[in-house]
Structure 1
């Protein structure tokens, strides 16, 4: 982030706190901060010097200029510790505040109210050290804890009440963990009562000496005057490497993972955020929180009652909490026996999510396998089973053993999609009311669909005496040497390892099965075209040409091409290479295709891609540098480097000498990639038959710094591909909301493709010029907190428990 971007962020944050730099209040804030010398050790300034520096900041802002590095440092040293401070929680209460806004917390009233809550709030950990620290939790019933869903998922699988508790992880809560060492007050977490299917909330049962703990009272009714109400979170803030460490150190004094009181204000009654693939209306607050605050209560300072459950934050912008009254509007929550005051609201529309029977409780013995009879031998996850068996095989397993097949589908797909799939199975087998099963008879009037995956979206297998999938077999992630076994020789055509010849072996179903299945239910014949995503898109385009001709000759109809991500580049290249494309293709839909490239490519080569970093941690022998070398040597990836005409700083990528260290793409592949930039965006197939589905609402890198890192102020995009890379002048583009890797699981995208083919109108809003103005995504999203540490996820793979949540974590860029 450059200083202009940092200035803008700091001024916006000050505005959200109700502070203007040209008022006496701001000067009082500076004087107060200057008296607290600990906050200014690095500035080495007297109070008079501090005021002089502040006046310099005021002059710079009044001229409309950006602040310098030192001026931004100075401003942050004032804002954070003064407006939103934190205090140490101890056995006897908390230390006094000296900030003017918070002096009232030093009174006996607030100290008594807040102090009464502290013993009922604790730090959740796992005894097996699969995670050093899970999050925060607090008592809301005699033996009931409330925390976040993403915290509980470190030792619980499933959603709703159909749960599997991983007792072997040894989860517990310690209600002390003060800044100084104490023996701790530890209670064992015995059972998962509920993982809420809508909110990021989980209810757990604990055992031990419970007489020491009084449940906190949740508010069942939204209080009057909520906006601006003084609140406090209580939790265990952990150092957050995603955010500015200097500002964190000023607020938290370099001490993390210890019990803290963090006061602030309610900023929004309703603040939209993406949470577990749903947009929810959270309560906004501005307490100084960090990652370890997940599961913290948001307390009303006047009453000590729980206003909300903190679950996410966007640095220097907003924090998000589940409103207690919204959670309590759900009778399923109230029936657990939680403590609340007030009259609960009528159940909200979202409560119908409980209609899914797969959220209902069914005991699952700890020793029971989650893979149905007939699965491959040995320990294998439901995910691997799902990827290696087709719909006919799943239907057969469903007839033999419905319960275990349901459990496997839940773990592989999640309850929502599993429920839909099971309804299709019931319809197919004659036991359901639905008219459309898995094998709906094709409509002869409809064109065939050819579906193309994105990079890493197809399995790659070595066919010898036995078929051995190197990508993607979840057990192969742990074996080691994966980077080498996936690498290509310098010519970009052959596999690097002697005796290994990898071929595409079908789409990865977790990414594409849902769309293909739904289109088949609508009467389409869907051909899942797989290609070797490591190799040049030119080779894939030639193979696509052969498949298109085969399908058209067999059906007598033109085809519709649907390309996701890299698949769109294959289609564009096909249109450039084959002049008669219009004789064979009726429509083209490109979903999140980086026609102008993506900064995910240099991030992969320089080791800043999160997926490759996670793979290197899973593997027993691969290093991150080996995965970087793999990325630098596959033409299919290098061909997606950013287009310099769209991103001027991208010119530097096309010369070996400009890469930061000894791992870089060879010049011949850089030259080849540069030669494709214009043709990919001017292919005749784009103007003749194509519609674009693009996402705008997820922060996406579109700038490269001199230090060889992504720029700090992300643009509109899908999290991987900047929106402007996906757009072509004169080609209709429609808005969708999902992140890049999940776009073809979006029901609106799936139905939009059907409507576009049938009527020419996808019933989605078009991208407008107004949408493209500005850089700040909205509705805002946050980086999901991983459901496991990498070490624990590797253990889940070994135990056959790797599930869809882990997959989404792994593939999140």
Structure 2
């Protein structure tokens, strides 16, 4: 990739690699702004969203960012990347995040109709909804400073997978095994969504975490035993990829999780302006797998994740198998996941009865 502003995309993939036609995207965003139907103009009731979400200042700021991004895209299309100023560079990044690599709100285990770059999600909607039902927020009681920690997902009959650094917040290693910390409890709630306008919150049937099956010694992974909090039982587990896809780099994928505000990990003002302070709720985050070295234990992807995505599944959009366990990333650098098919014979995952497919 050439040197210059294009090399600093927050999703580690330049706009020219995400969008087929930069001029077409610029024209579309400009038309939406002129018609006042940009995403920033959609209001939510005051009792369902932070004040920043519905303030006129926030909408105007969003419009200014996107207008600068349109100018930046037009310069990129004309191969004038060296002329981009700071506002245009950030505006291009905002358009990448909002259109090329969006973080789509989930409401009542569904998501708004998608057009343009991500219209490909529409025929996959039924399968994605099934995935959404099996991913939840890890919540804790008795922790000295946190009430929720990350994301987890069903991978076995009574098993959820998350990150080691998530489980470590409510677990301890004692007598040669991991166990839940004294005085603390934890659960996985598949809801925790931003309420839809005019409607009640979606139903919530959390899973109680009853035991630590194990913490992986080599990768950032924990496997936890769960039980339903009601008599309804647990959904069937997600299908976990037992083999690698035929071609990984450039493969469409999606992440489901709970992006959280984290100014230590992400560029604070940029993230606040793009996400408009709507954090900690369930989102669908499409993107592509970008890199994997055969035999390695790290795959990279460019979905727009934030701190609370720790423990999120990375799904193959083609067959909806879980390819990876997201464990980290950094703004303007990229995102990382454990390639699960590399652990198909791992004794800990065998003990957890992972649903390999």
SS at match of 2:297: strand
Unaligned runs of 5+ in 1: 1-6, 273-279, 342-813
How far the C-alpha of 1:128 sits from its partner, in A, is 1.6
How far the C-alpha of 1:188 sits from its partner, in A, is 1.4
How far the C-alpha of 1:207 sits from its partner, in A, is 1.6
Q: Deviations over 1:626-658 (max 9, x none)?
A: xxxxxxxxxxxxxxxxxxxxxxxxxxxxxxxxx
* Matching of residue 146 in structure 1 with residue 146 in structure 2: no
Q: Contact 1:159 / 1:197 at 8 angstroms: preserved in 2?
A: no
Q: Deviations over 1:101-129 (max 9, x none)?
A: 2111122xx10111111111111111124
Number of the residue aligned with 1:248: 271
Take 1:46 and 1:149, find their aligned partners in 2: how far apart are those partners? 37
Take 2:268 and 2:154, find their aligned partners in 1: how far apart are those partners? 32
Q: Contact 1:147 / 1:202 at 8 angstroms: preserved in 2?
A: yes
Q: Contact 2:66 / 2:94 at 8 angstroms: preserved in 1?
A: no
Take 1:212 and 1:325, find their aligned partners in 2: how far apart are those partners? 24
Q: Deviations over 1:467-492 (max 9, x none)?
A: xxxxxxxxxxxxxxxxxxxxxxxxxx
SS at match of 2:238: coil
Number of the residue aligned with 1:308: 324
Number of the residue aligned with 1:572: none
Number of the residue aligned with 1:41: 60
Alignment of 1:50-69 (within 5 A): 51=70, 54-55=73-74, 62=80, 64=82, 67-69=84-86
SS at match of 1:77: helix
Number of the residue aligned with 1:268: 291
Q: Contact 1:87 / 1:260 at 8 angstroms: preserved in 2?
A: yes
Take 2:262 and 2:212, find their aligned partners in 1: how far apart are those partners? 28
How far the C-alpha of 1:309 sits from its partner, in A, is 0.4
SS at match of 1:17: coil
Number of the residue aligned with 1:128: 142
Q: Contact 1:121 / 1:234 at 8 angstroms: preserved in 2?
A: yes
Q: Contact 2:69 / 2:95 at 8 angstroms: preserved in 1?
A: no
Number of the residue aligned with 2:250: 228
Q: TM-score, normalised by structure 2?
A: 0.80
How far the C-alpha of 1:53 sits from its partner, in A, is 6.0
How far the C-alpha of 1:159 sits from its partner, in A, is 9.2
Take 2:167 and 2:218, find their aligned partners in 1: how far apart are those partners? 15
* Matching of residue 95 in structure 1 with residue 112 in structure 2: yes
* Matching of residue 217 in structure 1 with residue 239 in structure 2: yes
Return the structure number with greater relative CO, CA threshold 8 A, min gap 6: 2
Number of the residue aligned with 1:106: 122
SS at match of 2:28: helix
Q: Among residues 91, 97, 106, which one is paired with 1:80 in the alignment?
A: 97
| Alpha carbons of structure 1 residues 28 and 167: separation in structure 2 relative to 1, 3 Å | farther
How far the C-alpha of 1:304 sits from its partner, in A, is 1.5
Take 1:48 and 1:148, find their aligned partners in 2: how far apart are those partners? 39
* Matching of residue 116 in structure 1 with residue 130 in structure 2: yes
Number of the residue aligned with 1:330: 346
Number of the residue aligned with 2:179: 164
SS at match of 2:183: helix
Q: Contact 2:259 / 2:309 at 8 angstroms: preserved in 1?
A: yes
Q: Which has the larger radius of gyration?
A: 1
Take 2:336 and 2:255, find their aligned partners in 1: how far apart are those partners? 12
Query: Higher strand share goes to which structure?
Result: 2
Number of the residue aligned with 2:217: 197
Take 1:201 and 1:190, find their aligned partners in 2: how far apart are those partners? 17
How far the C-alpha of 1:257 sits from its partner, in A, is 0.5
Q: Contact 1:161 / 1:195 at 8 angstroms: preserved in 2?
A: no
Aligned pair count reads: 322
Q: Deviations over 1:166-223 (max 9, x none)?
A: 1421111111101114563222111001000001000001122462422011111111
* Matching of residue 188 in structure 1 with residue 208 in structure 2: yes
CA RMSD, Structure 1 to Structure 2 (Å): 3.1
Q: Deviations over 1:511-570 (max 9, x none)?
A: xxxxxxxxxxxxxxxxxxxxxxxxxxxxxxxxxxxxxxxxxxxxxxxxxxxxxxxxxxxx
Greater alpha carbon shift after TM alignment, 332-341 vs 287-296 = 332-341
| Alpha carbons of structure 1 residues 20 and 173: separation in structure 2 relative to 1, 3 Å | closer
Take 1:54 and 1:248, find their aligned partners in 2: how far apart are those partners? 20
Q: Deviations over 1:737-786 (max 9, x none)?
A: xxxxxxxxxxxxxxxxxxxxxxxxxxxxxxxxxxxxxxxxxxxxxxxxxx
Q: Contact 2:253 / 2:314 at 8 angstroms: preserved in 1?
A: yes
How far the C-alpha of 1:294 sits from its partner, in A, is 0.2
Greater alpha carbon shift after TM alignment, 322-331 vs 204-213 = 204-213
Alignment of 1:523-672 (within 5 A): none
Take 1:79 and 1:104, find their aligned partners in 2: how far apart are those partners? 17
| Alpha carbons of structure 1 residues 48 and 133: separation in structure 2 relative to 1, 3 Å | closer
Q: Deviations over 1:379-423 (max 9, x none)?
A: xxxxxxxxxxxxxxxxxxxxxxxxxxxxxxxxxxxxxxxxxxxxx
Q: Contact 1:141 / 1:338 at 8 angstroms: preserved in 2?
A: yes
| Alpha carbons of structure 1 residues 159 and 38: separation in structure 2 relative to 1, 3 Å | farther
Number of the residue aligned with 2:312: 296
SS at match of 2:133: helix
How far the C-alpha of 1:77 sits from its partner, in A, is 2.5
Q: Contact 2:65 / 2:91 at 8 angstroms: preserved in 1?
A: no
Q: Contact 2:66 / 2:91 at 8 angstroms: preserved in 1?
A: no
